[in-house]
Amino acid sequence: MSSKSYSPAWRLFTVIVFRPLLHVLVRNKWAGQENIPKKGPVIIAPNHMSYADWGTDCLFFYESGRYPTFMVKASAFKVPFIGKLLYGCGQIPVNRGAADAALALRQAEQALTEGAAVIVYPEGTATRDPDLWPMVAKTGVARLALATGTPVIPVAHWGTQNVLPYGSKKAKLWPRQTVRTVAGKPVDLSEWAGKHTSAKALRAATDAIMNDVAALLASLRDEEPPAIVFDPAKSKPSKPAGTVAGSTASPSVTAVGAEDRPPESTAGDAGEAAQAQRPDEAGSAAAGEAQ
């Protein structure tokens, strides 16, 4: 990426400070790192269960040879120091549901033209599935992939729910928790190539991505994923998930306000908001035209 997109000094700072810390805080078990290309544009699509996903995913991607570029809730950039850190590291701000949501996708497209590894949590927020399986995802990741022709690498992790359950303020760092992460081969999206303005194609491509993510998660959990994917739009709002099979997290957690929450990835929301605002334009900027 160009020097205009991030500060090498800020990125070096995060590596020096956070890399050893993340290695100490959790026990990491990784697989499939060879599926993450060492250079060139790539979109990485992980499942999302916990606030701890950010840290463990960053470490996994960095140790796989890529410094991650996340799409982050815009309000996080207003937090003292955190905002400066996010901008300095080249992260992308997203205004959820705002008219300029398409701008975030164009910025992501620009980052890809510069060879970035853009991390998109397709669900847009932590899953509301009671058993922590991936829920129905937003279409932002598919829109970005189809508009740019960039490969999508599915990723699944299991164990972060024990470190910091969604909705909890208290991390469980002792005894030391194990987080397992696996990256799969690129998702085959050839059937929908060039169809980034078709809602039907975007939904089908999104489902294909999430099917691969769910299959990877099933391999980590040694369980079969549910036959019907949890859809929060058709279900009553659920409380933060507690203990599930293979989890040692407390079933009782404390809900927190938005101001207490770490920044969440919002690329999925950006994609759908952009489609609603400008269906003929959102995500259509070709590589190199974003700015």
100 band by pLDDT with thresholds 50, 70 and 90 = low
Mean pLDDT over the full length of the chain: 83
Indicate the range of 94-103, 178-187, 193-202, 214-223 predicted with least confidence: 94-103
Q: In sequence order, which residues have a C-beta less than 8 Å from that of residue 211 and are 6 or more positions away?
A: none
Over range 255-277, report the average pLDDT: 46
98 band by pLDDT with thresholds 50, 70 and 90 = low
3-class DSSP string for the chain: CCCCCCCHHHHHHHHHHHHHHHHHHEEEEEECHHHCCCCCCEEEEECCCECCHHHHHHHHHHHCCCCEEEEEEHHHHHCCCHHHHHHHCCCEEECCCCCCHHHHHHHHHHHHHCCCEEECCCCCCCCCCCCCCCCCCCCHHHHHHHHHCCCEEEEEEECHHHHCECCCCCCCCCCCEEEEEEECCCCCCHHHCCCCCCHHHHHHHHHHHHHHHHHHHHHHHCCCCCCCCCCHHHCCCCCCCCCCCCCCCCCCCCCCCHHHCCCCECHHHHHHHHHHHCCCCCCCCCCCCCC
pLDDT for the residue numbered 270: 59
Q: Are 109 and 88 in contact (CB under 8 A)?
A: no
pLDDT for the residue numbered 86: 94
pLDDT for the residue numbered 7: 93
Over range 191-213, report the average pLDDT: 97
pLDDT(83) > 80: yes
Over range 106-119, report the average pLDDT: 95
pLDDT for the residue numbered 213: 98
pLDDT for the residue numbered 207: 98
pLDDT(266) > 90: no
Determine the residue type at 284: S
pLDDT(290) > 70: no
- What whole-number percentage of the chain has pLDDT above 70? 77
Determine the residue type at 186: P
pLDDT for the residue numbered 244: 46
Domains of the chain by range and CATH? 8-239+254-277 (3.40.1130)
Side by side, which strands form the sheet with 26-31?
26-31, 177-183, 152-158, 42-46, 117-119, 68-73, 92-94
pLDDT(259) > 50: no
Residue 198 to residue 280: CA distance in whole angstroms: 10
Over range 63-85, report the average pLDDT: 92
Q: What is the pLDDT of residues 221-250, one digit of tens each?
A: 999 999 999 998 887 644 444 444 444 333
pLDDT(24) > 70: yes
pLDDT(32) > 90: yes
9-14 long-range contacts, Cβ below 8 Å, gap at least 24? 9/88, 10/85, 10/88, 10/89, 11/67, 11/88, 11/89, 11/90, 13/85, 14/85, 14/89
Over range 271-288, report the average pLDDT: 41
pLDDT(60) > 70: yes
Over range 134-145, report the average pLDDT: 95
